[in-house]
Amino acid sequence: MATSQDYRLGDYTFPRGWFMIATADEINTHKPLAVRYFGRDFALYRGQESGRPVLLDAYCPHMKTHLAARNDTSYVIIDGGGTNVEGDSIRCPYHAWRFGPDGQCNDIPYHDGPIPKTACVKSWPVVESLGAIWVWHDPENGEPEWEHPSLPEWDDAGWVNWKFDDLGVLEQHPQEVIDNICDYGHLGPIHGSTVQRYENEFNGHLATQRQAGPHRTLVNADGGSPILHTDTTYHGPGVLISYLTGYYDSVLMINHTPIEDGSIKVWHALLVKSPSGSSPVTTQDEIAARQFQHASLLAFMQDFEVWTNKAPCLNGMFIPSDGPFMKARIWYKQFYNPRERAHEFRDQCDGIYVPRGAVAYSESESA
Ligand code: FES
Ligand SMILES: [Fe+2]
């Protein structure tokens, strides 16, 4: 598998940004969850007092026991009723040191002196939103540069909320997935779209694609296809949100998070506006929305199937009628380099691009 260095992305192996690390359901249990992203292991759990998610580095500073790996035999777990989560803290199964949500050790049962300050694990900034748990990953340990993902439609009773499709692990560098945001030429062959208008726009940490045209995968029950408009934006390197209008109004989300340098975990989901127009939504609306999410998943799987088997595109043979791949790759580099250098990359790609021979999205429909 190709690495960030192979793609010459910059100083860091893993990018800066918000990333999905679990569905909210996965931590609706009293047990901690062992997860691995960015080439490191974590313990993820829901604090039993606050209800808030907590993400800690996995290995106890005492003797490096994994705080969340499966353990059924330690008396810490047995006496804890099957878990080592205690309130908002977590207790190590080996010698029972306990760590708070800030990562600081707050109890060593067999020690009555002061607890060393260095008895701590790193605690990561996490939030819960849209049915998912998100981490702000930053090689410079800075504050979040933009807001975590949220959508007003999620709290609107007239929309059917999504359940995430977990696509598992893709053994490709995320660069291969990011390329899709500007891949004008694949829309016909892969998705069966007859693209009528198309453009990309890069603006700071956002990369957008707008397009309109009939579509052969997202069709209605009669097999007909209305004009599908998609307005799709990467909010940083790991979160894609797309507004779809056509058959049903909906909001698509695709998230991908690095596991190792060259592999990612991928999720797909679709929020659908009440197909019947009623608010709150009806059971029939929910059924129609689930079917539409499935059709959207099939469209995404058309990309996924190619990614599963392709070789890394380290030096593509791009032509002027392709989308602006080189601009998108420059845009992506801002997240792999120090924040103070982000403008160098943004200055080289901010703007609107239309592939040769295409009609710009912003031109009127009659154009
Ligand atoms: S290894 Fe965690 S308390 Fe000893
Ligand atoms: Fe695609």
Digitized pLDDT (tens) for each residue of the chain, 367 residues in all:
899 999 999 999 999 999 999 999 999 999 999 999 999 999 999 999 999 999 999 999 999 999 999 999 999 999 999 999 999 999 999 999 999 999 999 999 999 999 999 999 999 999 999 999 999 999 999 999 999 999 999 999 999 999 999 999 999 999 999 999 999 999 999 998 899 999 999 999 999 999 999 877 776 656 666 788 999 999 999 999 999 998 889 999 999 999 999 999 999 999 999 999 999 999 999 999 999 999 999 999 999 999 999 999 999 999 999 999 999 999 999 999 999 999 999 999 999 999 999 999 988 654 4
Ligand 2 centroid from CA 180, angstroms: 6
Ligand 1 centroid from CA 296, angstroms: 46
Contact of 269 with 159, CB cutoff 8 Å:
no
Query: Is 277 among the domain residues?
Result: yes
Judge if 133 and 160 occupy the same domain.
Answer: no
Among the bound ligands, the one closest to the CA of 43: 1
177 Cβ inside 6 Å of ligand 1: no
Other Cβ atoms closer than 10 A to 333: 24
Judge if 251 and 131 occupy the same domain.
Answer: no
78 Cβ inside 6 Å of ligand 1: no
Ligand 2 centroid from CA 166, angstroms: 17
Alpha-carbon distance 331 to 320, whole Å?
A: 18
Judge if 187 and 336 occupy the same domain.
Answer: yes
Among the bound ligands, the one closest to the CA of 252: 2
Q: For residue 228, give Cα distances in angstroms to 193, 219, 266, 298.
A: 9, 9, 24, 16
Judge if 345 and 246 occupy the same domain.
Answer: yes
Judge if 102 and 235 occupy the same domain.
Answer: no
Alpha-carbon distance 329 to 302, whole Å?
A: 22
Return the structure tokens found at 152. 């007003």
Other Cβ atoms closer than 10 A to 274: 22
Looking at 137, 165, 181, the residue that finishes a domain is 137
Looking at 85, 112, 137, the residue that finishes a domain is 137
Residue 223: alpha-carbon gap to chain centroid: 31
95 Cβ inside 6 Å of ligand 1: yes
Query: Is 348 among the domain residues?
Result: yes
Q: For residue 352, give Cα distances in angstroms to 182, 203, 245, 297, 349.
A: 11, 9, 22, 28, 9
Q: Whose CA is nearest to atom 4 of ligand 1?
A: 95
pTM summary value: 0.95
Ligand 2 centroid from CA 185, angstroms: 10
Domain tally, the chain: 2
Q: What is the CA radius of gyration of the chain?
A: 23
Ligand 1 centroid from CA 259, angstroms: 26
Query: Is 68 among the domain residues?
Result: yes
